[in-house]
Structure 1
Amino acid sequence: MSTIRVPYEKLPPAALAAIEATTGPVLSTESPAEGLNSAVAAKLHTATGTYFVKALPIDHRWVWTQQREADVASYVRSVAPALIAHTVTSGWNILIFEALPGRHADYRPGSADLPKVADLVRRVGELPAPRIELRDATQRLAAYVSHEADLQHFAGDTLLHTDWNNSNVIIGDDTRIVDWGWATRGAPWLDTAYWTIWLIAAGHSPESAEQYATHIPSWQAASTAGLNTFAAANARLWTETGGDHPDPWTKRIMTAAQDWHEYRQSRPSRHTDK
């Protein structure tokens, strides 16, 4: 699912000039290992401050995620970095964000970050749903349910992030989440459920991961059938993504999704239907 990374300096001169018209002259750059959905992802150090740039070629199959991030940015300012500029030039779609100080969240059992992330999941779930075009959870998961009627569990009008990879969560003076390109509209408990898979991937048992989830109010809106359907759908999704020879990163998430699905199959009564 990753995109071939292009060094920031390899952008066309006109694109570099357009970026520096906003940031000022770039003194140095850093390219993170994470965030491989962007062809260009770089932290820029300038005389006026530090910025984060994401860019994709305009003919890339995921370039629509750049527009989605731009569209949603003003609605998620309380939980995400500020969008400074969005420009399309020289065949590139470019987003310039404020660079968040801090580090990636630690999801491992016992981490002091876990209550902070749980609070962030809650805060995201309380954001008003913007009246802009968003993907719908029922559409995103339609190919992975056994029966079309099961999709009703995922329907809703809540703004969802859907990618709770710990590298998207920045722990600093505040806890915030980046990479809103897959913003989705759906049931209020779905982001908590997505986070549950990442907790399992970080070493939690399914039971322990669900215990963290219970601290988030939206989780209480989920039914047993809804959670079982979601866990099964994600097990299928990640199995399809991994294929016969998944890379280690994908294998870890694929195994977590499968483990959660098996847990919910074996103990379906652990969440009470509403």
Structure 2
Amino acid sequence: MATIRIGLDRLPPASRAAVEEHTGPLLTVEETAEGLNSEIAARVTSATGAWHIKGLRTEHPRTWTQRREAAVAPFLTGLAPTLRWQVETAGWNLLGFAALNGHHADYAPGSPDLPEVAALLSRLGETPCPGIELRHAEQRLANYATHPDDLHHFAGPHLLHTDLNHTNVLVDDHAPQGDRARLVDWAWATRGAAWLDAGYWTSWLIAAGHTPASAEHWAAEVPSWHAAPAEGITAFAAANANVWAEISAADPAPWTLRLAAASEAWRTHRMSRQ
């Protein structure tokens, strides 16, 4: 479920002052609508720069997502915006990221963003998992796999993002081609098989209008995808469909129902090829 968003002006004065120790006095504040996990989300500027601020109350049940993002941030050079500072004061945990320019990725068929996302996932697939506390992919999918024997396909030593919502990918058209995309919102960072993020992307591609075969074509642009056994991909498609069936049943919003239908279409496609 989405977290209720509040404005930056609702922060306690002590929290606002702690932010401005890093930024200087704020000149502009632009609240952002995207993202489901943050109570505070805003792009701010001061005389010294621009930042994206996200935050949760320290008593919020998902404050762990803030700490996970802070822990993984140093290992994401070239993959994500740089974390510049973190403050925890007056009951709030706040992260300040270097602000990125760009637009949310367009996953529709024919979009010029698709090669950039594939290049981003290719770089991520080469990233070893840092030695920080993260859940493992086989643990996260344990309750959703069709057979317990399927889980070994998901295990691996690589760092995964696992939430390939198009709003989590920013594309800067003015950056060098092949290096324009960055991933934001690493709350669900996970350790697992390198090819899994291409698998998570596949459902989002289908939801954006691709056929399952077209979506798998784009997944195949990510080198790690070719290391995945066919039965492993099928097992993941089935587990992922179960995940989205549960999410959409608990929160039947249009976007969750769309992802559930897309994931089920992918599972059906995979099963028809057996």
Query: Would you say how many aligned residue pairs link Structure 1 and Structure 2?
Result: 268
The answer to whether residue 210 in structure 2 is matched with residue 220 in structure 1 is no
Structure 2 stretches lacking a partner, 5+ long? none
Structure 1 stretches lacking a partner, 5+ long? 269-274
Q: Distance in 1 between matches of 2:66 and 2:130?
A: 17
* 1:6 Cα deviation from its structure 2 partner: 1.1
The answer to whether residue 168 in structure 2 is matched with residue 171 in structure 1 is no
Alignment counterpart, residue 197 of structure 2, candidates 191, 208, 211: 191
Residues 81-139 of structure 1, C-alpha deviations (whole Å, 9 max, x = no match) = 01011121111111110000111111100001111110000011111221111111011
Q: Specify the alignment match of 1:209 in structure 2.
A: 215
Q: Distance in 1 between matches of 2:246 and 2:4?
A: 21
Q: Specify the alignment match of 1:44 in structure 2.
A: 44
Residues 155-210 of structure 1, C-alpha deviations (whole Å, 9 max, x = no match) = 10100011111111111113111111111000111011011111111110101000
Q: Distance in 2 between matches of 1:16 and 1:36?
A: 22
Q: Distance in 2 between matches of 1:123 and 1:135?
A: 21
* Structure 2 counterpart SS, 1:265: helix
* Structure 1 counterpart SS, 2:15: helix
Q: Distance in 1 between matches of 2:107 and 2:263?
A: 16
The answer to whether residue 240 in structure 2 is matched with residue 229 in structure 1 is no
Which residue type is aligned with residue 39 of structure 1? E
Q: Distance in 2 between matches of 1:262 and 1:59?
A: 42
Q: Distance in 2 between matches of 1:12 and 1:161?
A: 32
Q: Specify the alignment match of 1:128 in structure 2.
A: 128
* 1:220 Cα deviation from its structure 2 partner: 0.7
Which residue type is aligned with residue 192 of structure 2? G
* Structure 1 counterpart SS, 2:123: helix
The answer to whether residue 99 in structure 2 is matched with residue 99 in structure 1 is yes
**Contact 2:75 2:130 (8 Å CA) reproduced:** yes
The answer to whether residue 5 in structure 2 is matched with residue 12 in structure 1 is no
Residues 64-83 of structure 1, C-alpha deviations (whole Å, 9 max, x = no match) = 11111101111002211010
Q: Distance in 1 between matches of 2:47 and 2:151?
A: 51
Alignment counterpart, residue 253 of structure 2, candidates 247, 259, 269: 247
The answer to whether residue 249 in structure 2 is matched with residue 256 in structure 1 is no
* 1:255 Cα deviation from its structure 2 partner: 1.1
* 1:225 Cα deviation from its structure 2 partner: 1.4
Which residue type is aligned with residue 123 of structure 1? R
* 1:245 Cα deviation from its structure 2 partner: 6.2
The answer to whether residue 212 in structure 2 is matched with residue 238 in structure 1 is no
* 1:249 Cα deviation from its structure 2 partner: 1.4
The answer to whether residue 157 in structure 2 is matched with residue 151 in structure 1 is no
The answer to whether residue 206 in structure 2 is matched with residue 200 in structure 1 is yes
* 1:244 Cα deviation from its structure 2 partner: 6.7
Q: Distance in 2 between matches of 1:261 and 1:43?
A: 39
4+ residue stretches of structure 1 with deviation over 2 A?
Answer: none
Q: Specify the alignment match of 1:272 in structure 2.
A: none
* Structure 2 counterpart SS, 1:142: coil
Q: Specify the alignment match of 1:89 in structure 2.
A: 89
Per the normalisation by structure 1, the TM-score is 0.95
Aligned-residue identity in percent: 54
The answer to whether residue 36 in structure 2 is matched with residue 30 in structure 1 is no
The answer to whether residue 115 in structure 2 is matched with residue 109 in structure 1 is no
**Contact 2:128 2:157 (8 Å CA) reproduced:** no
